[in-house]
Amino acid sequence: MVSTLQGRSQIRLALEDGGDTSWWEDAGIDKRRVSDITKLLVAVCGRRLVSVRAAVATDVAEAPATVTSAGSKVKVRFAPSPTGNLHVGGARTALFNWLYARKVGGKFVLRIEDTDTARSTRESEEKMKADLAWLGLTWDEGPDVGGPNGPYRQSERADIYKSYVDKLVAAGHAYPCFCSDAELEAMKAEAEAKKLPPIYRFRVPPNKVRPASRPAAAAAANDVSGSALAAAGVHAAFDTQQAAYREQFLRGVEIGINDIVRGQVTWNTDNLGDFVVLRSNGLPVYNFCVAIDDALMGITHVLRAEEHLPNTLRQLLVYNALGFTPPVFGHMSLILARTRASSASDMGRPAPVNVSPWPVQGYLAPAMVNFLSLLGWNDGTEQEIYTVDELTQAFALDRITKSAAVFDKVKLSWMNGQHLRALPEEELVSRIGEALVAAGVLSDASSAFAAAVSSLVKGSVDMLGDAAGQVPQLLGYPLSETVQSDDFKPIQEDNFLEVAAAVLAAHDSGDLAAAIAGGRDTFKKWINGVGKAQKRKGKRLFMPMRVALTGRMQGPDVGELLAALAQESGSDVVDRSSLVALPQRMETLKAWVASQQQQ
């Protein structure tokens, strides 16, 4: 809701008389005459002018309570600043905008807000675009693809911003400010001393008025509505090369939005000073650029993080002053990091997670999209695993939550594992093999050995990168460590030597190799034969068999592991010292059995 002095405007004039400043004010001026009267005052008062401020009342409609644009008319945007990496909060913002556009058949715009020339880089922009592309968040308008409302980098829109500053000045909504940094700091200190809000309070030192400007301004006084006055107004009275420009507005006005996420949010303009829209160096200010761009690009919905909520008042004032219709706003809660501690007090920091490492770490893009979608949104069901198509169908703005989301890496890993195991088996095995080659574990992802060992770990990895830690363990034979553990003692006491002797005998006779080569059923038949001969079954049979053949008490199917080892060509494993083939395993087992028999 916006309350204004409908159709009424204010002009406030400060004149200096021997060190004293007198003020003249009238709140009943027709807003159509404000610009002409302001310029006339500038021309007539000359050097006695300290400042002139005109605040033009505008009729502003109440913010819509519901979304008014639908279908193809919906247009959303993601507008990152290329000053670093794309972080998880930005990725979530981009995703929510993209999902909504795809849900209703609207447009998703990518705009690069690079007016911070000291920190913005094209390299950062390219990385951000690469991260968005990896997530599958393609844009309908923006850099590289173009569109009807370009250019889509703010650094390339300087002339557009300057033209709208001129419009504000001509309409009496903006004025030049000559305050130095020292003067602004003094103003702030004075406000703090008086316990007032630290806002800008209009002040232009009289020595900043140029005497040379007086003739042109005086000549223009005879033509308050003609081109001469337009050329000799505020720009003629001040040295504009040293001036910043500030937007001005009515005081005591309440401006509000019906935020999609947060509900009704209201500000009072008494808590905001006249704010800069164009710096003295000619560069426009963020909030001014954003409002101009959103309006000219036809953005209907601005969905962004709650940290931008304080910016909304300034942007609304720019919209109102220029006669633009504000978009629908939705401000999403922060994403917090979860530490290892379980206390809620440990979850107060924003999640400092960058997107770029995710592919390298073995995360799948659909899994990341799934995970990000649940950071501040749900569809009201208990479902947690979604495909991208399912998310596109289910996403709705009214299901975005107010409460802060938590970036839980444990849940992310679990969710990634669910998506991994949902892949076709051939694709999953291939991806694991590629990850093993990338990690330097294997030399050839297309080999039979790579496929075999990838199949061994496919059910236990949550991320592709997990395979690089699991496979080398399977290739080894840590018998000496296992037999020294407390967990092994019950197995040893159950006559482990008897099982080990049977395994060694089968190896020497060739029966073990034949059982492995015969496949799963043949290998199982051989083990059961040993069990029958020794009157063992279940855990009493399979656990000592596992230790004897793998050197471990846990792991994948023993027969499949031994079959995989049999396919190693001699060059598949990059670090040869990590591989213990079956003959070497039997030599180690034989030596341990001999040491036990000597005791």
Among 286, 21, 39, 265, smallest CA distance to 172 is for 39
pLDDT computed for residue 43 by the predictor: 44
Structure tokens at 50: 């300290």
pLDDT computed for residue 69 by the predictor: 61
Mean pLDDT to the nearest integer, 133-150: 96
Give the residue, 307 or 56, on which the prediction is more confident.
307
351 band by pLDDT with thresholds 50, 70 and 90: low
The phi, psi pair for 204, rounded to 5°, reads: -125, 115
CA 387/CA 192 separation, integer angstroms: 54
190 band by pLDDT with thresholds 50, 70 and 90: confident
Q: 449: part of which helix (H) or strand (E)?
A: helix 448-457
Does the structure show a pLDDT above 60 at 229?
Answer: no
Percent of the chain with pLDDT over 90: 69
CA 316/CA 257 separation, integer angstroms: 9
Percent of the chain with pLDDT over 70: 79
Q: For the segment 421-464, what is each residue's pLDDT rounded down to a tens digit?
A: 999 999 999 999 999 999 999 999 999 999 999 999 999 999 99
In a 13 Å sphere around the CA of 106, the CA atoms on its Cβ side amount to 23
Structure tokens at 81: 């600043």
Does the structure show a pLDDT above 70 at 26?
Answer: no
Q: For the segment 538-575, what is each residue's pLDDT rounded down to a tens digit?
A: 999 999 999 999 999 999 999 999 999 999 999 999 99
What is the rounded average pLDDT for all residues in the chain? 83
End-to-end CA distance of the chain: 90
pLDDT computed for residue 101 by the predictor: 98
pLDDT computed for residue 350 by the predictor: 57
Domain parsing of the chain, residue ranges: 1-59+210-238, 476-597
Does the structure show a pLDDT above 80 at 201?
Answer: no
Does the structure show a pLDDT above 60 at 230?
Answer: no
Mean pLDDT to the nearest integer, 576-594: 96
Mean pLDDT to the nearest integer, 186-192: 85
Q: Residue 362, exposed/middle/buried by CB under 10 A (0-12, 13-18, 19+)?
A: buried
Q: For the segment 367-386, what is each residue's pLDDT rounded down to a tens digit?
A: 999 999 999 999 999 999 99
Does the structure show a pLDDT above 80 at 389?
Answer: yes
pLDDT computed for residue 194 by the predictor: 85
pTM score above 0.75 = yes
Amino acid in position 317: L
Q: Could you list the beta-strand ranges (E) of 39-118.
A: 49-55, 75-78, 107-110
Does the structure show a pLDDT above 60 at 248?
Answer: yes
Helix axes 520-534, 539-550, angle to 10 degrees: 120
Eight-state DSSP code of residue 517: H
CB 481 within 8 A of CB 553: no
Rounded to the nearest angstrom, the gap between the alpha carbon of residue 456 and the centroid of all alpha carbons in its chain is 35
122 band by pLDDT with thresholds 50, 70 and 90: very high
How many CB atoms within 10 Å of residue 595?
10
Mean pLDDT to the nearest integer, 391-408: 95
Does the structure show a pLDDT above 50 at 272?
Answer: yes
DSSP code per residue over 420-463? HHTS-HHHHHHHHHHHHHHTTSBS-TTSHHHHHHHHHHTTT-SS
pLDDT computed for residue 182 by the predictor: 87
Does the structure show a pLDDT above 90 at 329?
Answer: yes
